[in-house]
Structure 1
Amino acid sequence: MLSPLIISAFIQTTITEGIFATSIACIFSMKMYSYIISNEKLNLIQYNLYLWLPCLICQPNQMIFKKKTNFIQIIKYIINSSVIILWDLYYIMYEIQPNYIHEGLAKFIINYSFRLGILIVINHYLIFDYILGLFMEITKVENLVFYEDWWNADGFGTLNRKWNKQVHNFLKINIYQRLSKNGKNMKALIITYLITALLHEYCINVTLKTVRFYFLIFSCAQFILIPYQKYIPFPRYILFSLVLFGNSLMIYLYTHY
């Protein structure tokens, strides 16, 4: 995971290159960590297959594989992914980046936060439905779940569990359960939350070449509110406001302050 940090520090990279480098570093570091602490013993072929599987938990015995690859589905995934990526690049480079960087916070919220929020949601489906779906089809695994109905979440905890199932499962199995020996453990939960926030901070700061901790601050605030969720209404308009505007606000903070 240090390689993208070194590359970012000494080599001029674009945001796209930074996102790619940090994503690859995090994914393979998490997969290798999961394998190291597991009791699995894979041969070279099995280990290489595991590295290509779109999962972060080393549990080969629980994988269900189909016999044939659907090449038509692969072509669909590639076409859909390419269309969204091209639209992303155009939208970011020509619609958002030249303008919003000079806007104040109020104008940014009015003019760009909703559009950036939509962009983030679309890319959520790009990653989990098309790109990871492509790897599922190539490796012929068929029982992986990447997200659940996060749009029906009734609180921050539920939203975190459903937004990215693979990362959630990695943290739950490899971090939380190993630290928590007897059921629920607040110390284990705090450490797990902290690791989650620091992983996000790593990706954001290396990509943008900054040293800021806004995500960590927001994560801590979110963690404090979780025990009181049953007393706090969490209607869907608040959920969608957080998804659409919260992420956009984070982007603004990291690029302006």
Structure 2
Amino acid sequence: MKSIIVSISAVLFFAASTSSCAQESPYKNDDFVIKDVKVTHKADLAVTVWEINVSGKAGKTMPSKVGQLDGAPVLGYVFPTTLQPTDVGFSKTDGIVALALTSHPDFDDTPLWDENADNIFDNDGIVWHPHWVVLHKDERVAGGLSVKQIKKDDKTVVLPPTNPGMPMYMDSPGYPVITKNNTIKVVVPDYRINNKTDFSYDGVAAFMKVNTSNKSLPMLGVYDVFSVASGNLSLPYKVQ
């Protein structure tokens, strides 16, 4: 795990440090400048509360709709962790387990959850919601990372029953996400992370994009890294 973190942190640090040289993203603003990241264990409730604080207003900036899945923009506040894939319901695999809080108006990948409470389950992708993902190094995209893909017919891969049916290490766990002022938070029950409360983590704000047409690119890649809490993705923070 340590070697994976070192390898990916080098890629992500390079991406963040060189992003200003690339075309300026329309989403790059204070809403994605991380000031602080924190995970707190509430033992009396058997939950952890994950939060990212930004310079601007957390969750205010949302992606612009493009009208299709291919090329759909995704914005995310992401917590890379030292949790294992098996802790969150995946089968064993290499990569970094991350909890991503995302917004994307062009599609809904939480078929079990009705986040906007209108009794329609496939129209609320723009509402900030959580995903477990496994990230790995991917030099095909400017951000240096992508969500690890799987072959549709690979029977050895196990995904949680709440996964959205996409051929990636991705889950839609349905935890509540709250945005207020400069903070975005998510509440995770202990039993949903194998009762692990001693892991390390970091905070990342990023722009991602879906690809369904170009086989030389990942299905969901990181194209711009706006900020990293630690500065170098070293995952230095511990659960409080």
Give the TM-score, by structure 1 length: 0.23
Instruction: Tell which structure's C-alpha radius of gyration is larger.
Output: 1
Which structure features the higher share of strand residues?
2
